[in-house]
């Protein structure tokens, strides 16, 4: 069924996807980096014009190759802490809508993030 000509684009895209997954799952970081570099190189040149999505992916991966390959040099890195802070800030912005007074906005922010701490705000007792 997948051998038909109309499924060639899906086959090639799936094959590239599997190569990317294999690179990230490789227990040897050096070999995984080499595999990912091979994927980036193969997508940078010689992609048929009909595979526009893979051409775009190849351009993006080539442009961001240093960032993509950095994963293999720094194991365990994550943007999780940054995303957590951004999520809290977005929640805060959503709960303090409508405040035109900066002081009220700041008080609402303090209440929303854990309230006032006596040692930090001893004059507010």
Query: From CA 112, how far away is CA 73, in angstroms rounded?
Result: 39
- State yes or no: pLDDT of 20 exceeds 70: yes
Identify the residue with better confidence: 98 or 80.
Answer: 80
Identify the residue with better confidence: 97 or 11.
Answer: 11
How many domains are there within the chain? 2
pLDDT of residue 1: 47
66 and 88 within one domain: no
DSSP assignment letter at 98: T
Burial 110-123 (b: 16+ CB within 10 A, else e): eeeeeeeeeeeeee
65 and 15 within one domain: yes
The boundaries of the domain holding residue 64 are 5-70
**Mean pLDDT in residue range 23-29:** 94
DSSP assignment letter at 115: -
DSSP state letters, 32-63: HHHHHHHHHHHHHS---TT-HHHHHHHHHHHH
The answer as to whether 75 is a domain residue is no
87 and 54 within one domain: no
23 and 53 within one domain: yes
- pLDDT grade, residue 117 (50/70/90)? low
Question: How does pLDDT run across 29-76, given as a tens digit for each residue?
Answer: 999 999 999 999 999 888 888 889 999 999 999 999 999 999 898 877
């Amino acid at each position: 069924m997948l051998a038909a000509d109309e499924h060639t684009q899906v086959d090639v895209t799936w094959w590239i996807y599997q190569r990317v997954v294999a690179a990230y799952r490789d227990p040897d970081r050096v070999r995984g980096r080499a595999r990912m570099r091979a994927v980036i190189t193969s997508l940078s040149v010689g992609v048929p014009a009909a595979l526009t999505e893979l051409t775009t992916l190849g351009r993006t991966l080539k442009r961001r190759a240093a960032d993509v390959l950095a994963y293999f040099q720094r194991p365990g890195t994550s943007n999780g802490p940054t995303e957590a802070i951004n999520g809290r800030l977005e929640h805060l912005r959503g709960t303090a809508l409508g405040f035109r007074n900066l002081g009220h906005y700041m008080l609402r922010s303090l209440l929303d993030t854990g309230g006032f701490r006596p040692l930090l705000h001893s004059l507010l007792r």
